[in-house]
Structure formats: C-alpha cells, structure tokens
C-alpha cells in the first residue's frame, strides 16, 4: 500500500472539513437563518447524520468503501454549490440535509479502507499504526483547516466578487471536494473491483453484523463507553468558549486566545495519539489498561476544568483532557478494529460514530430539560454520567497473552452476557 496516497487524501479531507468549523453557524445566519432559528439548521444536519449513519456504513461494506467516500464528496459539493447560489430558509435546510448526508457517508468509509489495507499488508500488528495515522491526520487537518477557515472571511470582504463574507470558505470547500473526487479516482484502488468480488446480500450482512455485536462483550461495552464520551464532548464543545471568555480581562485578545487554545487542544489530541501507540506496544501495558486509564484521567480533567476559575488553569486542564482523549482513541480503535472483520468494518465504525451521536443528542436534550445554567455544573454532571457508562468496560476480557504484550487483539467472539 502506498501510504503517501492515503495520507494525502486523509489530510486534504480533514483540512477541507476544517474550513467551515469556525464559521458554519455564521454561514447559516448570513444565508437567511436568524439567531432564534439557527438550531433548526443544525437540527436538520444532526437528524440526517443520525438517520443515515448506520445505513451508509452498511452500504460502504457492501458497495465499496472508496465508492461511498467518493459519493460523500459529491454530496457535499452539491450542498456548497446550493449555498453559493443564493439564500433563504428552505435553501439552507436543504443544504444542511445534504451536509448531514455527506457527513454520514464519509463517516468511517475511507478510514475503514485504510485499516483494511493496513491489515492486508502488515497483519493485525499494524493496527495501532493505522489508528494513529487516522487520528493524527484528523487533528492536523482539522486544526490547519480551522485556522484557514477563520482567515478566509478577511479576504472575502476585500473582493467585491464575493457577495457574502463566507463565500470564499464555501467556494474553496467546493473545489477541494472536487479535487478529492479526482484523487480518489486516480490514486486509490477500488476495494470492490467490478465483477471480481462476491458481494454479501444485505440481509446476510445485517445478520452477520448483529450476530457479531451480540457475541462480543468487548464491542458492546466499548460502544456504551462511547456514548458517555459523546455526551461529554457535546457539553465541552458547546460551552468551552463562553466559559473561557468569562475568565478573561482583555476583550481585545479574546478571538486570538480562542484560536490559540483551539490549536493547543487539537495538538494535544495528536500528542496523545503518538504516545498511545508506544504505550500499547509496551511489554507491561495492554490495550484495556491504556483505554480505561486514559478515559478515567480524561474525566478527571473534565471535572478540574469545570471548577477552574483562572484562564491558565482552565487551558491546562482542557488541553490535558484532550491529551488523554487522544491516548484512549488509539487503544479503543485498535480493540474495535481487531474484533471486526474487514467485510463488517465500515458498519461498525458507523455504529461507533452513531453511539457518539446518541450521547451528544442526550446531552443536548438533557441540558435543556434540566435547565442547568452553570457550565461547571453541567460538565460535572456529564463527566459523572460518562464514568457510569465507562464502568462496564472494566469487565472487558482480552486474550491474556496479547494483553500482556500490547500486541494486536484477534477477533473476539465472547458469549458472556453484558
């Protein structure tokens, strides 16, 4: 496998997604949504992601992971073109739906293909390297894209050819989607060459995936822990900016410091990814120990960030919690991918993303129903719930020899209830 080709596609994909991270809500408002109905656009996006997450994962396994990822780029390009061509509530909602579909199509499809190629070339022992590549590419690409996305509106305002402040973001995102389509067609071989692969019928595939999930205590409990992390990440990403800004005494430096902290926590995730691979290959530390230890440390730093009163202590705790998150990601991803065969991989990666989305939705509705006004209190509640959902993972059982060596975990088919 030519790693440079896959790495280039991964980095460009995450960079292009990062272009809209700092301005997506502002784009919706500029195109016609008001502050009061902004959640309508975000809600349509989230609903489509949740509805299509698992079906698109199944489609990737049956129709080809590269094909589904290619379709995600074309769907996203249609959404950006729609936003560039005009404004209005219906247009925005249609674009939000297309963006949600593109997100669901891209979720896990190309990542599953990279992992599959790694396993074919180097066997299961290369899984930690594959997971690290995916996670570091995401952190680096998103951080660079977010920086560029924050600067592009400054150029849009200087050129009369752009009618909106964020049109340059949309145009570049559209162009990069088309570039990715070309790269996929020219550089990435099909994972299901036409007429040469025997495709599993849909019903058989679903029965196989369901049987695998029912028979694996490991998969069930990791997905449960994933729901808890989705809950925590939702409240963190929704409220860290106002909490941090409330600690500052220099309003003129606010935007700059938000950008600095964004870069630092994304770099912390990448740093955790790099350290994690070394830990799981250690002769004394195995996947389960790294996963649970890092998640417990992460939740501890969430609690410390919740009670922090000064910007420096808050920033330190915030970066450390994402550092621990990065460490846990490699161990979690390796355990899941080692327990799932290639023909079901995209389905289970979509299921993992679906679990995160369910946790995020629960956090969004829960915070509204509880009416919690204190960000710190909300974070403490979220970390407590995530801890409860993590506890069943203490009973995860891995083959003892592989756990001790930190080697890759072979497919697990436990019949233990849980």
Which percentage of the chain shows pLDDT scores above 70?
Answer: 81
| Highest-pLDDT range among 135-144, 158-167, 222-231 | 222-231
The two three-digit tokens of residue 291, written as one number: 């996963």
Q: What's the CA gap between 313 and 197, in Å, rounded?
A: 55
pLDDT in tens, 50-107: 888 888 888 888 888 999 999 999 999 999 999 999 889 999 999 999 998 999 898 7
Longest dimension (CA), the chain: 65
Is it the case that residue 1 has pLDDT exceeding 90?
no
Is it the case that residue 189 has pLDDT exceeding 80?
yes
Exposed e or buried b for every residue in 51-73, given b needs 16+ CB within 10 A? Answer: ebbbebbbbbbbbbbbbbbbbbb
- Crossing angle for the helix pair 345-370 and 375-390, to the nearest 10 degrees: 140
pLDDT at 418: 34
Which percentage of the chain shows pLDDT scores above 90?
Answer: 28
The full set of domains in the chain, from first to last, is 1-190 (1.20.1250.20), 208-394 (1.20.1250.20)
- What is the sign of the dihedral through the CA atoms of 40, 46, 49 and 50? negative
Q: What's the CA gap between 225 and 205, in Å, rounded?
A: 25
pLDDT in tens, 175-184: 999 999 999 9
State the DSSP code for 131: H
Q: 């924050």: which residue's tokens? A: 150
Greater model confidence, 308 or 363: 308
pLDDT in tens, 375-397: 888 899 999 999 999 999 887 76
pLDDT at 256: 60
Residue 403 binned pLDDT confidence (cut-offs 50, 70, 90): very low
The two three-digit tokens of residue 368, written as one number: 């509204």
Note whether 336 and 328 are within 8 A (CB): no
Note whether 9 and 134 are within 8 A (CB): no
Average pLDDT, the chain: 80
Q: What's the CA gap between 66 and 186, in Å, rounded?
A: 12
Is it the case that residue 156 has pLDDT exceeding 50?
yes
């Amino acid at each position: 496998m030519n790693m440079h080709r896959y790495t280039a596609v991964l980095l460009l994909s995450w960079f292009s997604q990062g272009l809209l991270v700092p301005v997506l809500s502002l784009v919706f408002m500029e195109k016609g949504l008001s502050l009061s109905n902004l959640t309508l656009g975000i809600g349509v996006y989230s609903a489509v992601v949740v509805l299509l997450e698992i079906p698109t994962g199944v489609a990737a396994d049956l129709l080809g992971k590269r094909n589904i990822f290619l379709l995600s780029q074309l769907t996203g390009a249609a959404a950006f073109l729609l936003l560039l061509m005009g404004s209005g509530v219906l247009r925005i909602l249609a674009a939000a739906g297309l963006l949600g579909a593109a997100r669901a199509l891209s979720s896990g499809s190309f990542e599953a293909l990279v992992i599959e190629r790694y396993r074919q070339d180097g066997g299961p022992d290369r899984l930690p390297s594959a997971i690290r590549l995916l996670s570091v590419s995401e952190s680096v690409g998103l951080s660079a894209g977010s920086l560029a996305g924050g600067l592009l509106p400054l150029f849009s305002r200087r050129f009369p050819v752009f009618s909106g402040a964020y049109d340059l973001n949309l145009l570049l995102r559209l162009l990069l989607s088309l570039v990715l389509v070309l790269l996929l067609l020219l550089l990435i071989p099909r994972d299901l060459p036409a007429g040469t692969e025997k495709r599993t019928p849909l019903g058989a595939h679903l029965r196989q995936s369901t049987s695998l999930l029912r028979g694996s205590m490991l998969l069930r409990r990791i997905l449960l822990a994933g729901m808890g992390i989705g809950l925590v990440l939702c409240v963190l990403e929704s409220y860290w900016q106002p909490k941090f800004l409330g600690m500052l005494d220099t309003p003129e430096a606010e935007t700059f410091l938000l950008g600095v902290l964004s870069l630092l926590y994304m770099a912390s995730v990448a740093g955790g990814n790099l350290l994690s691979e070394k830990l799981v290959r250690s002769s004394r530390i195995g996947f389960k120990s790294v996963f649970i230890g890092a998640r417990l440390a992460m939740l501890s730093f969430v609690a410390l960030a919740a009670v922090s009163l000064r910007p420096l202590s808050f920033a330190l705790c915030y970066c450390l919690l994402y550092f621990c998150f990065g460490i846990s990601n490699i161990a979690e991803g390796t355990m899941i991918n080692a327990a799932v065969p290639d023909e079901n991989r995209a389905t289970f990666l979509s299921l993992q993303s679906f679990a995160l989305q369910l946790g995020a939705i629960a956090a969004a509705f829960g915070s509204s129903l509880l009416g919690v006004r204190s960000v710190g209190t909300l974070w403490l509640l979220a970390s407590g719930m995530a801890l409860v959902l993590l506890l069943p993972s203490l009973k995860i059982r891995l083959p003892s020899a592989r756990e001790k060596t930190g080697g890759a975990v072979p497919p697990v088919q436990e019949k233990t209830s849980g």
